[in-house]
Structures are given as C-alpha cells and as structure tokens.
Copies of this chain bind each other. A is one copy, B any other.
Amino acid sequence: MKKIVIVGGVAGGATAAARLRRLSEKYEIVMFERGEYISFANCGLPYYIGEVITDRKKLLVQTVEGMSKRFKLDIRNFSEVTAIHRDRKTVSVKRVLTGEEYEETYDVLILSPGAKPIVPPIPGIETAEALFTLRNVPDTDKIKAYVDEQQPKHAVVIGGGFIGVEMAENLAERGVNVTLIERANQVMPPIDYEMAAIVHTHMKEHGIQLMLEDGVESFENNGRRIVLTSGQVIDTDMIILAIGVQPESQLAKDAGLELGIRGTIKVNEHLQTSDPNIYAIGDAIEVKNYIHGFETFVPLAWPANRQGRLVADHIHGIDVKYNGTLGTAIAKVFDLTVAVTGNNEKTLKQLDVPYEVVHIHPMSHASYYPNAQQMTLKLIFDKQTGKIYGAQAVGKDGVDKRIDVIATAIKGGLTVRELPDLELAYAPPFSSAKDPVNMAGYVASNIMDGVETVQWHEIDDIVANGGFLVDVRTPLEVARGAIDGSVNIPLDELRERLHELPSDQPIYVTCQVGLRGYLATRILQENGFAAKNLDGGYKLYSLVFGAK
C-alpha cells in the first residue's frame, strides 16, 4: 500500500492526513511538522493576544498524540524537511531539537508548507527589539507575553491587510494605543477604496491612528523609533510587522519543481506539482482565480482545507479537481463586519475587464424590528451577461450572510438577474421581504435594462464641469449635508417642478441611498430627460468624503 509523506501539519496537511485515513486504513501516513504544534487555530491567534479567546488550549485544535491515535498517523513534530530527493523518492528530515538528519522514503509526497510573513531588509530591522511577526503559536506567545509583561502604551502595526487590521483591533482591545501604517491608500486590499473608507472611519472612531500612503524608511533606537517615508517619526513600544506573506516554496524550488507567480508552487487542477508524485496545497501554491482564470496567490484557510480534502481524494484515485479560488474573505473590525467575494474593481481594471457597479445601503433586517443595522453592499457584474464578478459588504450585522449568499450564487452560475429570484428566509428579525441580495439584484438588473448611474468618484467632476445635479431628498435631509452644487427638489414635488430643470443637458440625480434617486430618474426619463442616478446616493458619497 502507498506510503504518503506530508510536509506541514497545519490546516491543509492535517486535513489531508485525516481524509486519507478515512479513505483507507492501509495507507502508511507520515506527517512532518517543523514546529511543536499541528493543526492549530491560525485564524484565532490575534484574538488570543486580544484576550477575546482566553484559554490557550483552545488554540490547539488537535494534538500530536490525539491525532496520531485517532487517525493512526506517524506524526513527527519538531521535524523539518530540508530536501526532496525526487530521483530516489525520499526526503531529508532534520530533527529540529537535536540537529540530527535522516532520510524518509515516500510513494506520494504532499507539500503543505504554508506562507511566512515577509520581513523586508529595512534599515535597523535587525536591531529592532520589540518587533514581531505573527504566524504560529510561539509567535503568539511572544507577542502576548510582551503585552502582558511590558504593558506597552503604544504599538505600531505595519501593514493594513486582514492580519494587520485584526492585530490593531486586538492590541487596542488590550488598551494599547495603536498606529497602523499602510503604504496603499486603504486597508484591506480585497475590498475597494470606498468600502475601505467606511472601515477607516470606524477604526479611527475606535482610536486607531491610521497612516495611509506612507511606509517605513528605517527603524532607529532598537526599534523604539520608526522613520516614515513621509519624514514623520513615530516613537513606539512595540511593532507588529504584517505587510504580507510569501509562500514557503524554497524546498519545492530546490527540488526543481516548477514555481508560479510570486514564488508560489505551481500545481495542476489535481493539485499535482510538475512532479506528479508530489502534490502541493494550501498557502504556498498558485491557484486559478475562479471567475477570470488568472493565476493568483490566495493564502486563506478555506482553500487550504478544501485542497487538503481533494488531494487525499485524488491520491486515493477519485477523479476530483480544485476549481479555483473565489477569494471569499471576511474580518471583524471592532463592531463592523467586512466581507468580500470574487473580484474587486482594482483587479478588473488590471485585467481590463469592463464591469458595472452598484452600491446599496439596505437594513440588516426589517427596519421596524429592533436593532436593524444599515450596511453598504456593493455588487460588481458584467452589464451584457449579468455575470457576477464580485461583491463587498461592510456593516454591523448580517454582512456575512449576504456575502455567503452571493458567493453561493456565483458558484451556482447565477446572474444578477437571478438574484431577485433567490427565495431567502424572511421574518422581521432576520431580513426583509426583499432581502439585501434581492435588492442588489434588482438594482443591477435596472442597469442592464438601461438605467444609467454615475459613481461617487465621478460626481464632483461632473458638477464642477457644469453638470446639473438634483438632490431629491427632503429639505431637512439636505440641511444635514449635501453635495456641493446640488439643487434640492424633493422627490414628491418633482413631477410638478420639471420646468425648473434644464432640458438641454443630462440631469444627474442624488438622494440618500439611491432608491429615491432611481425613482426620480425614472420620472425624468419618462418625461423626456436624459437622467443619471448617483449610485449609492449621498450616503456613499459622505462615507467616502465625510459629510459636507
């Protein structure tokens, strides 16, 4: 019977081992893990530092002893695989604690080495003392011990990705003043700028100092002082370096296996590397984007787990393949949920794929039932076919549900025209008779039917260049803030006041969230005007630019 050797005992590796055993009692399965722990709660680590998770044992999902026994595995922790000898189908293994080395044979090899934090050669980084990266349990222990014992007053988080933002939140929850530095103009790259703007505001409200479009030039004073590209200088008590991760592909590279983009391990749809006896899964591999098919690198837990299952099935002779990664991701940011699936505008622009966008601001459930929360939901799609390219949502409640529904719709091949047909569960505590996803589908279908919109980033230029913008909200709403240059004609007076509008130019319309603007647009179009609605209304505009 086959002998299967797995390199890496976390996430994908552990999943593959367990599935292989369920498939057959006869496989010989050896799993090497460089560190002490297998199958730990990667995604929970920031929350242990933040003392949201208080019991360290909970981070250890499976122990070496427990998993070995249950799944009849030969698990060897503190064991680093240092080389693959494809000619004789062996790996070199170093016992980390003793330095001793030996070779182990395999029939099939699964590489699940993961990805490691990028540590760039910034001047002064070698002598920075309280500088941490976060990947595993020992890293977590170090950071938590530092916070517990040194009680830092201030921390700098470098990098505004999901881990950086989660660390900023968890350090803030510990009472640390946090400055987050991000080179881009926004945090959380999988979402687009206007959605991130909502997150920026919320983080600032929770005391995070955000320094966007800035980077670290050097560390001074043993890492107690950070000099930024902008020239600003920050004194701090600790630093979390979270600018991103890179695949652990050195072992694969040294073995002559083909690599993919950004140093990933290249695999086929069966997750086989360029050597068919060697599979690779998880954060280290190149995957195909599910929607547009390009090669990409998506180090997330869901793909790793799914791949772990599929690799076991394929080794067992089942004809399965990995269909690519959609990139569904989610994070809690204080009281907000931020979630995304599919491709964002930035990616589509790079791909030169034409697309349309709608933003809506629905309530999480019936507005007349207590505690309904308004969310911002963005849908990106192809105007010709209605194909869903992606969705993003930010809000305090119900965001995860809507993104999951849209991720499911994408996998089901549904178009935006079919979203209104989704028969979702409605009772007042949970949704509305028209769920936010139904609504997004209606609004997107309107675009396909010829309703024209302009975007939040276009309207100022339009008005500056003489565009006529009608705000159809009530005077009371307008008094609380409106776009410069807009003219107020409340929706319910519009039909009687059409003569106030110029007939020789398009009329741009705005309201609070886009719904009344749409109604106004229809009235105007029916009366012979060329009308365009401001997508997302003043709400989205003011979320990005602040109230005017």
Which chain A residues have a beta carbon within 8 Å of chain B's beta carbons?
11, 22-26, 41, 43-44, 47, 52-53, 55, 58-59, 61, 66, 69-70, 72, 162, 290, 300-306, 309, 323, 325-332, 337, 339, 341, 366-370, 400-401, 403-405, 407-409, 411-414, 418, 420-431, 433-435, 442, 491-492, 495, 518-519, 522-523, 526-527
Is B22 touching A430 in the complex (CB atoms < 8 A)?
no
4 A-B pairs closest in CB distance: A412-B412, A330-B425, A58-B368, A25-B526
In the bound complex, CA of A303 to CA of B41 (Å): 42
Query: How many copies of this chain?
Result: 2
Which B residue's beta carbon lies closest to that of A527? Answer: B25
Cβ–Cβ < 8 Å partners of A491 in chain B: 70
- 6 pairs, CB–CB < 8 Å, chain A vs chain B: A43-B433, A44-B368, A304-B433, A332-B429, A404-B425, A408-B424
Q: A305-B433, A341-B425, A427-B43 are in contact. Are A72 and B366 (CB under 8 A)?
A: no
Least Cβ distance of A548 to chain B in Å? Answer: 26
Is A403 touching B423 in the complex (CB atoms < 8 A)?
no
Is B41 touching A337 in the complex (CB atoms < 8 A)?
no
Cβ–Cβ < 8 Å partners of A329 in chain B: 425, 427
Cβ–Cβ < 8 Å partners of A303 in chain B: 423
Cβ–Cβ < 8 Å partners of A52 in chain B: 369-370
Cβ–Cβ < 8 Å partners of A400 in chain B: 401, 425, 430-431
Q: A53-B368, A427-B331, A526-B24 are in contact. Are A305 and B434 (CB under 8 A)?
A: yes
In the bound complex, CA of A25 to CA of B309 (Å): 57
Cβ–Cβ < 8 Å partners of A290 in chain B: 423
In the bound complex, CA of A72 to CA of B309 (Å): 58
Is B401 touching A412 in the complex (CB atoms < 8 A)?
no
Q: A305-B433, A368-B53 are in contact. Are A25 and B423 (CB under 8 A)?
A: no
Is A433 touching B70 in the complex (CB atoms < 8 A)?
no
Is A11 touching B424 in the complex (CB atoms < 8 A)?
no
